[in-house]
C-alpha cells in the first residue's frame, strides 16, 4: 500500500456538493492499494500510521501520535498514487483493481478505527474535492 499523510488542523472531502467527511486536527491520509496488496499490508499500514509521532508535544517537538493528541483521520482513496511516470501520460496499471482496492480501502479504515483513531472518509471512486489546512506543513510519503 502507498499513502501520503498530511498533518492538518482541519480537512474535509466533498462529493457532488455534499461534505462526506471532515475532521479537525489530525491526519489527511491519501491511500492507494497496489496490485498484489493484502489485508496484511492494510493492517501494517494502519498500525504504522497510528503510531507515527508527528504531532508536537508541549515542548514543540514532533513526539505525539494521532491518538496521543486526540486527533482523527480523514481517509481518501487515491489511485493516482500508483502513477507510472515513465512517459508524459501517467499509467495506473500498478494500482489494485477497483473491487480489491475498495475492499482494502475499507479494511484500512477499519484497522485505523481498531487502533483507536476516529475516522471520516471520502467515497471510493468518486470525483472528490479535498480541502485542508496543512499544519507545519508536514507531509509524509509512506510505501509498505
Would you name the residues annotated as active-site residues?
Answer: 78-80
Q: Taking the CB of residue 6, how many other CB atoms lie within 10 A of it? A: 21
Cβ-count burial of 40 within 10 angstroms (0-12 exposed, 13-18 middle, 19+ buried)? exposed
d(CA 48, CA 53): 10
Dihedral of CA atoms 102, 81, 40, 49 in degrees, nearest 10, equals: -110
Amino acid at each position: 500500500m502507498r499513502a501520503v499523510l498530511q498533518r492538518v488542523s482541519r480537512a474535509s472531502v466533498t462529493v457532488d456538493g455534499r461534505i462526506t467527511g471532515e475532521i479537525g486536527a489530525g491526519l489527511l491520509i491519501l491511500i492507494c492499494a497496489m496490485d498484489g496488496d493484502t489485508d496484511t499490508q492494510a493492517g501494517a499500514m494502519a498500525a504504522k500510521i497510528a503510531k507515527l509521532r508527528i504531532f508536537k508535544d508541549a515542548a514543540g517537538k514532533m513526539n505525539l501520535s494521532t491518538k496521543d493528541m486526540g486527533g482523527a483521520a480523514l481517509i481518501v482513496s487515491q489511485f493516482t498514487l500508483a502513477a507510472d511516470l515513465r512517459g508524459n501520460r501517467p499509467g495506473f496499471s500498478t494500482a489494485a483493481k477497483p473491487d480489491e482496492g475498495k475492499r482494502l480501502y475499507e479494511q484500512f479504515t477499519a484497522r485505523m478505527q481498531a487502533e483507536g483513531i476516529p475516522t471520516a472518509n471520502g467515497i471510493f471512486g468518486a470525483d472528490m474535492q479535498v480541502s485542508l489546512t496543512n499544519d507545519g506543513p508536514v507531509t509524509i510519503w509512506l510505501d509498505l
